[in-house]
Structure 1
Amino acid sequence: SIDNMIMMFPSALIIALLGGLESILSAMVADNMKGSRHDSNRELVGQGIANMAAPLFGGIPATGAIARTATNIKNGAVSPISGVVHGVTVLLVLLVFAPLAVHVPLASMAPVLMVVAWNMSERKEVANMMRLKNTDSFVLAATFLLTVLFDLIIGVSAGLVLAFVFFIRKMSESTRIKTPHAAVKSVKNDSSVSTYSIEGPLFFGSIDSLETSLLERLQEKPKTLILLMNNVHYMDTSAEAVLGNVMNRIKRHNGRLMIVGLQSQPRELIRKTGLFHKIGKQHFFEHQDEITG
């Protein structure tokens, strides 16, 4: 029913994301072991088709498995045929040898998995990363400990969240607003001109520093505010709203906002939101020396 579909959708989405993530991780491990390069699109499309078909026969979601992938490669696998052979072997065990397999003690399987894990652990790379003592090494250590103490889903999920938080922080710190060395010397009929250069991505993680810096400049009530945006290759709607706020503030005291070197993505965004026309086409310039008045 529709109600059941709505109820199960969040869980299905989480399973799909984690399944895709584990498969890509498996493929990356295989790449490192073989020196090859996998096709992520083909891997995920194939997995998606299999997981849509499996429930029709009472199956459960399947993913690429790091341990079995590494074992295949260690034993000389060189093509997808190894995966087919593995699947057929498991099927035969289930259909034919299940009464015998049930007597295999789990304790005897643990050392096999431990040896596989040790062989695929890339110890030297892990040691080198831990010596860096930066955010990457912290994410690695946290993911490892959570995976060991709890399970893979919790470990990988926490690792993704931590990596995302550190990435946003790093990107926000890369955004800078400064006075350029070669500012516009004169603008006709303007006695007060402020020129500032913006560098880095403008998104929700950096808008606080952007807004604070620009509004501080506006307290001086310049007649013309020139923003050099040659090095801004990405802008989201949060940053667009800040830019609109700056434009409104400067217009209150009959000033004007000029933008130089606006890149394609920010230009397309402010065209869609209408800010481009509010600022005025005549106030956009490709180069700084085009501003004459």
Structure 2
Amino acid sequence: FTLDRMVMLFPAALVIALLGGLESILSAMVADNMKGSKHDSNKELVGQGIANMAAPLFGGIPATGAIARTATNIKNGAVSPVSGVVHGVVVLLVLLVFAPYASHVPLASMAPILMVVAWNMSERKEVANMLRLKNADSFILAATFALTVLFDLIIGVATGLLLAFVFFIRRMSEATRIHNQESHPVLAKREDPSVSMYAIEGPLFFGSIDSLESSLLEHVQKKPKTLILLMNKVNYMDTSAEAVLGNIMNRIKRHNGKLMIVGLQSQPKELLHKTGLFHKIGKQHFFDHHDEITG
């Protein structure tokens, strides 16, 4: 038990812990759907973590919630966690007392039992409805199912999570909109061609900064004296978007111009305070409403 060995084993242990927790939560969700209940994820994961830290001390290996056994328990009338305890005791007795007899049970006779259990908990109607949609969710479902059958649950679920993450980032980036406000009343009142205004909608993060850069930096090349950003519909900003905003500010300042921001929400404002960009732009250039802009 050395530090070098701990460092070597940590990545594998982390992956096992994450996938074990994921499979246990999946088991709990299957149980919820079958019983109409609601599990406590924190309790499930803490209990599993304690058990998996204790098991190796007795020569055991990491364990997770088992979807097939959970579904079988519920189908046979289980209504409380006691059923899991009884199941564990029965398995222990089989191992200690009936192992010689259990070894003669052919696996071929157990396979159909597992297939029936899987069929009963498969939620066929919901799967069929989702596949008929022919969208990103149906693709993720089909890919996860195929990989789980062809390889194993860990590969299927890990790939499904990765695909879900990629499609989520894509959907979030498409939700970001940047509109030129040439006909805005504030601009009409000022009648100053050197002042430009853009309205930004949606989250600003690493998946959407391309549209932010292409729309605003291209406009900055025209050397406007004042750029006004309406950001009252931006509820989230990450450091990638903050860096782009800082780049825009620096380019405008090179031309002796100024950047004004209107309607900044709490999370983006907190981020700009932490990075110092809020003070670089200047407190006097932030407004709660566009009617407050005077110069």
Measured against the shorter chain, the TM-score band is over 0.9
The answer to whether the Cα contact below 8 Å between 1:198 and 1:228 also exists between their aligned partners in 2 is: yes
Q: CA deviation at 1:219?
A: 2.2
Tell whether 2:200 aligns with 1:212.
Answer: no
Counterpart for residue 201 of structure 2: 199
> AA paired with 2:230?
L
TM-score (norm 2): 0.97
TM-score (norm 1): 0.97
Tell whether 2:229 aligns with 1:227.
Answer: yes
Counterpart for residue 5 of structure 1: 6
Tell whether 2:135 aligns with 1:134.
Answer: yes
SS state of the match for residue 187, structure 2? Answer: coil
Q: RMSD of aligned C-alpha atoms?
A: 1.3
Counterpart for residue 259 of structure 1: 261
The answer to whether the Cα contact below 8 Å between 1:225 and 1:257 also exists between their aligned partners in 2 is: yes
Counterpart for residue 23 of structure 1: 24
Counterpart for residue 164 of structure 1: 165
Which structure 2 residues correspond to residues 1-293 of structure 1 after superposition, within 5 A?
A: 1-180=2-181, 182-185=184-187, 191-293=193-295
* Structure 1 moving runs of 4+ over 4 Å: 186-191
Q: CA deviation at 1:187?
A: 7.6
Instruction: Give per-residue Cα distances to partners, 1:142-167, cap 9 Å, x unaligned.
Output: 01011111111111111111111111
Q: CA deviation at 1:216?
A: 1.5
> AA paired with 1:63?
T
Q: CA deviation at 1:179?
A: 2.3
SS state of the match for residue 196, structure 2? Answer: strand
Structure 1 CA distance for aligned equivalents of residues 287 and 130 of structure 2: 45
Structure 1 CA distance for aligned equivalents of residues 255 and 193 of structure 2: 14
5+ residue gaps, structure 1, are none
The answer to whether the Cα contact below 8 Å between 1:176 and 1:200 also exists between their aligned partners in 2 is: yes
Instruction: Give per-residue Cα distances to partners, 1:8-54, cap 9 Å, x unaligned.
Output: 11110110010010011111111111111111111111111111111
The sequence identity of aligned pairs, in percent, is 83
The answer to whether the Cα contact below 8 Å between 1:247 and 1:257 also exists between their aligned partners in 2 is: yes
5+ residue gaps, structure 2, are none
Instruction: Give per-residue Cα distances to partners, 1:254-275, cap 9 Å, x unaligned.
Output: 1100001111111111111110
Q: How many equivalent residue pairs?
A: 293
SS state of the match for residue 203, structure 2? Answer: coil
Instruction: Give per-residue Cα distances to partners, 1:95-147, cap 9 Å, x unaligned.
Output: 11111111111111000000000000000000000000000000000010111
